[in-house]
Amino acid sequence: MKSRKTARQINYNIKGVFAAEKRSGPGADFGALFHVFAAFIAILLPLSLLALGACIAFRIPDLMSFEIERGGVLKELGLDTTGEAVAAEISDFLNHKTDSLELTTVIARQDVPVFSFLDVVNLSKIRSLLDKSLYPSIFGFGLSIILFVVTRLAERRRYLKYALRASIVFFVCGVCFSLALALFWPLREAVFSRQPGVEFGGGEILLRFFGGFYPLLSAGMACLISFLVYIALYGILNKFTTEEEKMFS
């Protein structure tokens, strides 16, 4: 028993010496820098994942097809086509697989285009807006991971613990803002009005397709995608913030 206590005391003394050297060493002056790194990680990690989730949700055709069929706009307008075809055409355009909308329908025995000129203009603005949000989101996510690795290599795990815990708050705030943006048109209009070149023309088929519940469905899907990725990533990163087990307990 006495030998165990002696070994434990020696171990604590050795750790204390190393801790004192670390506090007085060259890395001691960078505490403020790691505070900044932790703040960037806490903010960029959840918000970049939410933005990436939105880019994915708005580009996949499944939600579009569901909303088009559910709303019954095709039957109301007498369009001889399907929701899947319309959604696939829009998805290909948003994903840069095509630069034109060539889907047609038969009206009064004439083959006419489903999308008007203003529809193409509106979709071009949506695609541009998604592209502008995609690259900063990828950059923000990559930067947060790099800062996490740098902080971990510097053995500043305490900062990473605080960063991950704070990221939960920012993620919840981001989800609430996304849902509020989808639910309340005045808020959505106020946000989009500050983005140059994204005003949408009224009275066109595209706006009728994606009115109703589509903003809420797409925002919910974006939050769900980002939540699943965030939870998995949080679990992985959190393991690197755990202190190593002591040799003597």
pLDDT of residue 155: 86
Asked if the structure places residue 103 within a domain, the reply is: no
Residue 182 within any structural domain of the chain: yes
Encode pLDDT of 138-150 as tens digits.
999 999 999 999 9
> Residue 58 pLDDT more than 70?
yes
Tell me the percentage of the chain whose pLDDT exceeds 90.
Answer: 31
Burial class (CB in 10 A: 0-12, 13-18, 19+), 20: exposed
Q: Which two tokens stand for residue 11?
A: 């171990």
Indicate if the pLDDT at residue 210 is higher than 60.
yes
Domain boundaries, position 57 = 31-72+130-239
Answer whether residue 96 is part of any domain.
no
Average pLDDT, the chain: 79
pTM of the entire predicted model: 0.76
Q: Please, what is the Cα angle at 87 between 64 and 102, to 5 degrees? A: 150
pLDDT of residue 20: 46
> Does 90 map to a domain?
no
Residue 26 lies in a domain: no
What CA–CA distances, in Å, run from 33 to 21, 142, 150? 19, 19, 11
Contact at 8 Å (CB) between 247 and 170? no
218 within some domain: yes
Structural domains of the chain, count: 1
Is 165 inside a domain boundary?
yes
Instruction: Judge whether 89 lies within some domain.
Output: no
Look at residue 146 in the predicted model and tell me its pLDDT.
95
- 117-132: average pLDDT: 83
